[in-house]
């Protein structure tokens, strides 16, 4: 037993505080697999945990970070042995279970999936929960029969993590992608990922009508609130929207009109507790379908020392695409 570097969030009299410090291995939580973490990533939820802007962290002290890639150091789980390359997304890590911003972690083996063949650990974390969630959304739309022939798809929050990967995935599969963003300076970046049209998020972010002009066959929304309501109101008859986020808010100020007059479906997508079979399918498809050049264009890299500052930046809308955190 020894200590290792970790970002630790503690409770203070005025809120919470995150700092890079040493953490004792003896204080790791229960689990049947210990992993030497090599890479993590930065998600919106991680920003909330690092800054304390929302009650994401449910126990203290907490090591935040909901994603990691690494090498199994020890295991009593039947599916994993020392030396195996693994990844984890969700399952309460960084919230109720000590998370990924550390050189070592201990988790339940049932939470892990093998690193897919063809992906490096850094690439897997460039994908991260945001990209894995984007693939779950694509799969949900496909199960609903929303093919490229049905018409355009809108992606909200397109310059963010989920939106960037969703744009790249949909474009590669032949969809006409309408990318919604509040950062017009990112238009060239989004077009480089395959977006066919760029619209200002202001077109969707304010209070809208119960039904608007039919503009798209569906979409992927990570914003929620008025944005999701407007996306639904403009979805064509029989279309579907996959919803996976709440950057604008948790409310949904809409009516039943899109659902009962146009047969629109709202598809809820959860990545945190998704069953293992769905995770394996999503990661297998990501390894096979995500263009590596597009992935590189939407990715930046920071050391563990930079993750606290980056947590504030992602909440302020200053992060484009995906951020890989190098740890070991």
Quick: pLDDT tens for 187-234.
999 999 999 999 999 999 999 899 999 999 999 999 999 999 999 999
231-281 residue pLDDT tens: 999 999 999 999 999 989 999 999 999 999 999 999 999 998 899 999 999
Please state the rounded mean pLDDT for residues 23-42.
96
Query: Comparing 74-78, 81-85, 159-163, 302-306, which segment has the lowest mean pLDDT?
Result: 159-163
What pLDDT is stored for residue 190 in this prediction? 95
- State the average pLDDT for the chain: 95
Sheet of strand 153-155, all strands in order from the earlier edge strand to the far edge: 197-200, 177-181, 153-155, 216-221, 235-243, 265-268
The answer, yes or no, to whether residue 291 has pLDDT greater than 90, is no
Task: Tell me the pLDDT band of 26, cut-offs 50, 70 and 90.
Answer: very high
Domain spans, the chain:
3-115+298-326, 128-268
Torsional class of 40: left (φ above 0), alpha (ψ -120 to 50), beta (otherwise)? beta
Q: Which residues pair with 37 in a beta bridge?
A: 70
The reported pLDDT for the residue numbered 1 is 65
**Tokens 């992608």, located at residue:** 177
Q: Where are the alpha helices (DSSP H) in the chain?
A: 44-51, 121-143, 161-172, 187-193, 202-205, 225-233, 257-261, 276-289, 292-297, 307-315
Helical (H) or strand (E) element with 123: helix 121-143
Fill in the DSSP letter of residue 29. P
- Sequence-distant (6+) residues with CB within 8 A of 114 are 84, 85, 86, 87
151-163: per-residue pLDDT in tens? 999 999 999 889 9
Section 297-326 average pLDDT:
93
Model confidence at 34: pLDDT above 70: yes
Reported as a single tens digit per residue, the pLDDT across 6-20 is: 999 999 988 999 999
CATH, domain 3-115+298-326, list 3.30.70.890, 3.50.50.60, 3.40.50.1220, 3.90.180.10: 3.90.180.10
pLDDT attached to residue 321: 84
Peptide bond into 61 cis (omega under 30): yes
> How many CA atoms, within 13 angstroms, populate the side-chain half-sphere of residue 297?
18
Residues comprising the chain, all counted: 328
Please report the pLDDT score of residue 298 as a whole number.
Answer: 86
pTM, 2 dp:
0.87
Q: Does the domain formed by 128-268 have CATH 3.40.50.720?
A: yes
Look at residue 161 in the predicted model and tell me its pLDDT: 87
What confidence score (pLDDT) does residue 286 get?
A: 94
- Model confidence at 294, pLDDT cuts 50, 70, 90, reads confident
Report the candidate in 183, 180, 178, 182 with the shortest Cα–Cα distance to residue 195. 178
pLDDT tens per residue, range 165-176 = 999 999 999 999
Q: Which whole number is the average pLDDT over 139-145?
A: 97
């Amino acid at each position: 037993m020894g200590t290792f570097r970790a970002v630790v969030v503690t409770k203070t009299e005025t809120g919470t505080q995150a700092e890079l410090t040493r953490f004792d291995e003896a204080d790791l939580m229960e689990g049947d697999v210990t992993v030497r973490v090599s890479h993590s990533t930065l998600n919106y939820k991680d920003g909330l945990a690092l800054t304390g802007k929302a009650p994401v962290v449910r126990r203290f002290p907490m090591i935040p970070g909901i994603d990691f890639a690494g090498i199994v150091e020890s295991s009593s789980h039947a599916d994993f042995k020392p030396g195996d390359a693994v990844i984890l997304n969700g399952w309460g890590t960084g919230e109720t279970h000590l998370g990924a911003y550390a050189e070592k972690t201990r988790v339940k083996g049932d939470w892990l999936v093998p690193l897919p063949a063809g992906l490096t650990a850094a690439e897997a974390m460039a994908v991260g929960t945001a990209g894995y969630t984007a693939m779950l959304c694509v799969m949900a739309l496909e199960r609903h029969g929303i093919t490229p022939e049905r018409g355009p798809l809108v992606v909200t929050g397109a310059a963010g993590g989920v939106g960037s990967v969703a744009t790249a995935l949909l474009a590669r599969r032949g969809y006409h992608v309408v990318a919604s963003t509040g950062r017009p300076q990112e238009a060239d970046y989004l077009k480089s990922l395959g977006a066919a049209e760029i619209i200002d998020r202001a077109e969707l972010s304010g209070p809208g009508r119960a039904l608007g002009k039919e503009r798209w066959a569906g979409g992927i929304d990570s914003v929620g609130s008025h944005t999701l309501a407007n996306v639904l109101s403009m979805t064509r008859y029989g279309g579907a929207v996959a919803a996976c986020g709440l950057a604008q808010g948790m409310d949904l100020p809409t009516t039943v009109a899109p659902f009962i007059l146009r047969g629109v479906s709202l598809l809820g997508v959860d990545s945190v507790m998704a069953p293992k079979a769905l995770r394996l399918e999503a990661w297998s498809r990501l390894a096979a379908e995500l263009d590596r050049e597009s992935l590189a264009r939407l990715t930046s890299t920071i050391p563990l020392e930079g993750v606290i500052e980056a947590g504030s930046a992602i909440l302020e809308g200053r992060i484009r695409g995906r951020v890989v955190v190098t740890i070991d």
